[in-house]
Structures are given as C-alpha cells and as structure tokens.
Amino acid sequence: MNLIAPAPDRTSAFLHPFSDLGSLQQDGPSVMTEGDGIYVRDESGKRYIEGNSGLWNAVLGFSDSRLADAASEQYRRLPAYHAFFGRVPETSARLARRLVDIAPVPMARVFFANSGSEANDTVVKMLWMLARAEGRPQRRKLLSRRGAYHGTTVMGTSLTGKDYVRAFGLPPEGVIFLTCPHYWREGRAGESEADFLDRLVAELEQTIVREGADTIAGMIAEPIMGAGGVIPPVAGYFAAIQPVLRRHHIPLVADEVISGFGRTGSLWGSQTYGVEPDLIIASKCITAGYFPMSAVMVSAEFDDRLTAASQEFGEFPHGFTTGAHPVGCAIALTVLDILLNRGVLDHLAGIIPAFQSRLRSFAGHPLIGEARGVGLMGALDVVADKPTKAPFPSDFEVGERIAKAAFRRGLIIRPLGNSVIFAPPFIMTRSEIDTMFDIVQATLDEVL
C-alpha cells in the first residue's frame, strides 16, 4: 500500500511568506528555476533583472561559483557542527575575528544566528539579561521608530514600526515608537530640516524622561530604513540623538541587516550615517544570500558586562543549533574576500553615481513625489498630487501596479505602499543600470 499521498500539484503545498495568499490561490506563484549574474529565470525561461538582489542580499548575483566552491570545500572538511558548550568550528572562529577586524567601531566579539530576526531577538535577550543581572530588572522597554523593520519573529515583529504589527496583537507595550526621521514625509509645513531634527531630539529626550531612563533597555535603529521604504535619516540625526542616549546610559543597537557590507556605499551604514553603536546586527549580504546567517557584534564594554552576567546565570543561556554553521561561515569569509579584495566594492563605488543619477532623474516626473536613496539602494515615492504630497488611495495599490508592470517587462522591483524600491546586485554594470531604469521609465509611462 502506498502511504504517501500524491501532491495535488507542484506548488499548492507551499505556504508563502509575505504574500497575498488569496490571489496566489488563483494566479499561482512565479516559479524561479535558475540564476545567472544579475538575472533570474522562471520556469518558462523568461529572464528578469533582479532589481532587489532577491531580498537585498544576493549582492554578488546568482551564479558566483567561488561561493559554491567555498561551500563545497567546507562540506567536505567539516560539513556540520555547532558552537555550543565551548566548542566552535575553526571556520566560524575565523569569521568572527574577520568581522571584528572590519567592524565600523571597535567590537570585541560576534554571536552568530540564522536570520536578521533571530539576531534582533538575540540582542533583546542580551539587553534583558544584562538588566536583570545588574540589578535593574525594570530596564525592559525598547525604543524603535515608526516605519522601522526588524523582522518577523515575535520580538522582531514587536520592534517593527508598521501597522500590521498591531494585527498580531503583539506589544507595543514595552516597545516605544519614535517619529520616523523622514523629513519629506514627516516634516511639518514651514518646518526646516534643522527644526525637524530638533523636534526629533526633543521627542527622544521627553520620551526617556516620561518613561524613566531606568526602564529602557536600549534603542534599535537601522542606519537607513530599508523595508520601511529606503528612508535615509534627516541630516545629522545620529550625531544629535546619540549624546541623548549616552547621557541616559541607553545602549544603541545598529540593525545593519540591509546596510551592512557595502549597500550604502561604505562598508557599513554606520559609517555612512555616523552611527556609533554598542551592538551591531548584520545579516543578508554576509553570505550574499547563499546561506542563512546573521551576526550580532558586541563592544568590549558590553562583552565584559555580558560575561559577568552569564556568570550570574551559570552560562549564557541562548543559542541556535545551526548558528555559526561552518558552511555559512566559509561562504561569508569568501564573500568578504570578494567584496574587499577582488574589486567589488571599488566597482560599486564606480556605479553608484550612475545609479543615483538615473534614480533621481525621476524626481522631475509629475507624479513622483520623492526620488531618494544612497549607495545602491533607492525608492521612488508616487503621489497623486505633487504640491500636497497626497498619496493615491490605498486601494489603487500604485506601488503594486508599477511592480507588476515592471515584472511583465522583465524587471523585479519591490512595491511598498505608494513606493517602489531598488537594491540591485553590486555586480551590475553601467549599461545594466541603464537597461533597468529604461524599463522603469517605460513602466511609469504605462501605469501613471
């Protein structure tokens, strides 16, 4: 007797993350089968420019055999091992050292997990553990910003400043959301950029005083918001808020899941925006998307406190079975070598001006409210009325329409409400940048 039920069809068993499950039942998913450079191909053989590097991560494209070779070599040497109970794969220890060496501010140690969300959870647990061990168990609240994205685990979702978080009934209790530092959208009529910044700094100070500094475990911030819509902070933001946090002894965590490893044009978003974090979260580009991995880097001062705290608890009670996976670490070491020593970051510096100039040329379009970005990331914000910045009605789904039309033309870009987002692979050539934006132009002509 055959006990294995035949699947009704090839894709119906797949439950899709972040997708409209209703329309997928009717239309079915796009099934991708191959990658080549900046392109992916679907099962019909149609080729698409991956204008988002997958999910911001495949910065070396979809066919880098050096990463496949690094994985294969590690699979033959030590294909699986953990880092629990005082053991560590040699490759993973090497990656930790390499990351400490290239960190944007002095860092002492690295903890590895499998995803950006897990890294965010890890940081929160570290902060809470320290608070408890140091006799301040009430230090549990976290500061985040509206528009921020920090992941999809319970804590990652709670830290995320988007409306759907409420739909889960997850805390805002314990997570306090500050104003999104987006001058174009959040600045008030007649308010200068400097005045807007002053308002944000005053809000932070007042929030800390209102809540009580001694109830706040830390603040988490992306140097530039990514999944919130590619939102660079108002000029001078981190230089202005960091003294406030320091004065109140509130640690700052930089979530560099998107901005780490070159995306903003510097190796770290913290360098681009003058962030001086106590902890750094990295993921995505760390393996160029070829393996699930994330890292939490901790400063020396933090590391000393964590070591003292774990003595209190007997051990550091946290870890993931496949965190620090040796194959992921071998890939990450190769990615860093390719980025830093094989000319990719130099190539990136060469193409960023062309990318930014083509992106910003859309600012002249009568329905593009803002064309913004930094490095090799950008967004076009579509408005129904430019002078008032009034958005299209949400049921018009303007971002979705543009992304779908671009997809038909062979370009994958991400819709986000009224905007579309670009974050192509670092290996893109100037002529591929032109091809991508020519498709965008034709798409806007079609849709708007």
Under the criterion CB under 6 A, does residue 149 sit at the interface with ligand PLP? yes
Scan residues 280-299 and list those touching ligand PLP (CB under 6 A): 283
CB of 400 to ligand PLP, least distance (A): 19
- Cβ distance to ligand PLP smaller for residue 283 or 443: 283
- What is the length of the chain? 448
The continuous run of DSSP H or E covering 348 comes out as helix 344-361
Under the criterion CB under 6 A, does residue 334 sit at the interface with ligand PLP? no
Residue 149 to residues 180, 184, 222, 257, 365: CA-CA distances in angstroms? 12, 19, 8, 10, 29
Under the criterion CB under 6 A, does residue 378 sit at the interface with ligand PLP? no
- Cβ distance to ligand PLP smaller for residue 62 or 149: 149
CA distance 276 to 273: 9
Under the criterion CB under 6 A, does residue 420 sit at the interface with ligand PLP? no
Under the criterion CB under 6 A, does residue 261 sit at the interface with ligand PLP? no
The rounded radius of gyration (Å) of the Cα atoms in the chain is 22
Tell me the angle at which helices 326-341 and 344-361 cross, rounded to the nearest 10 degrees: 80
Q: Binding mask 53-92 vs ligand PLP (x if CB under 6 A, - otherwise)?
A: ----------------------------------------
422 touches 388 (CB < 8 A): no
How remote is the C-alpha of 332 from its chain's centroid?
17
CB of 225 to ligand PLP, least distance (A): 8
Under the criterion CB under 6 A, does residue 227 sit at the interface with ligand PLP? yes
Residue 214 to residues 23, 142, 260, 282, 312: CA-CA distances in angstroms? 48, 11, 31, 28, 21
The continuous run of DSSP H or E covering 216 comes out as strand 216-221
CB of 78 to ligand PLP, least distance (A): 24
Kindly tell me the sign of the dihedral angle through the C-alpha atoms of 390, 393, 397, 402: negative
- Cβ distance to ligand PLP smaller for residue 120 or 334: 120
Q: Binding mask 185-224 vs ligand PLP (x if CB under 6 A, - otherwise)?
A: -------------------------------------x--
CB of 257 to ligand PLP, least distance (A): 4
- Of residues 141, 150, 263, 358, which one binds ligand PLP by CB under 6 A? 150
Contact residues for 32 (Cβ-Cβ < 8 A; gap 6+): 40, 41, 42, 43
Considering CB under 6 A, how many residues would be counted as binding ligand PLP?
16
Under the criterion CB under 6 A, does residue 226 sit at the interface with ligand PLP? yes
3-state class (DSSP) for residue 20: coil
At 50, the amino acid letter reads E
CB of 281 to ligand PLP, least distance (A): 7
Under the criterion CB under 6 A, does residue 233 sit at the interface with ligand PLP? no
Q: Find the part of the chain contacting ligand PLP (CB under 6 A) among 76-84, 101-109, 146-154, 411-419.
A: 146-154
Under the criterion CB under 6 A, does residue 151 sit at the interface with ligand PLP? yes
CB of 59 to ligand PLP, least distance (A): 14
Under the criterion CB under 6 A, does residue 255 sit at the interface with ligand PLP? yes
- Cβ distance to ligand PLP smaller for residue 121 or 278: 121
Under the criterion CB under 6 A, does residue 257 sit at the interface with ligand PLP? yes
What angle is formed at CA 262 by the lines to CA 125 and CA 109, rounded to 5 degrees?
Answer: 35
356 touches 372 (CB < 8 A): no
End-to-end CA distance of the chain: 58
CA distance 231 to 183: 9
CB of 380 to ligand PLP, least distance (A): 19
CA distance 382 to 368: 5
Under the criterion CB under 6 A, does residue 258 sit at the interface with ligand PLP? yes
CB of 146 to ligand PLP, least distance (A): 14
341 touches 74 (CB < 8 A): no
CB of 263 to ligand PLP, least distance (A): 10
Scan residues 155-174 and list those touching ligand PLP (CB under 6 A): 156
Which residue is nearest to ligand PLP, using beta carbons?
Answer: 116
At 440, the amino acid letter reads V
Under the criterion CB under 6 A, does residue 117 sit at the interface with ligand PLP? yes
Contact residues for 257 (Cβ-Cβ < 8 A; gap 6+): 116, 119, 151, 222, 226, 281, 282, 283, 284, 294
Contact residues for 287 (Cβ-Cβ < 8 A; gap 6+): 57, 67, 293, 328, 331, 332, 335
CB of 156 to ligand PLP, least distance (A): 6
Binding site for ligand PLP (CB under 6 A): 115-117, 120, 149-152, 156, 222, 226-227, 255, 257-258, 283
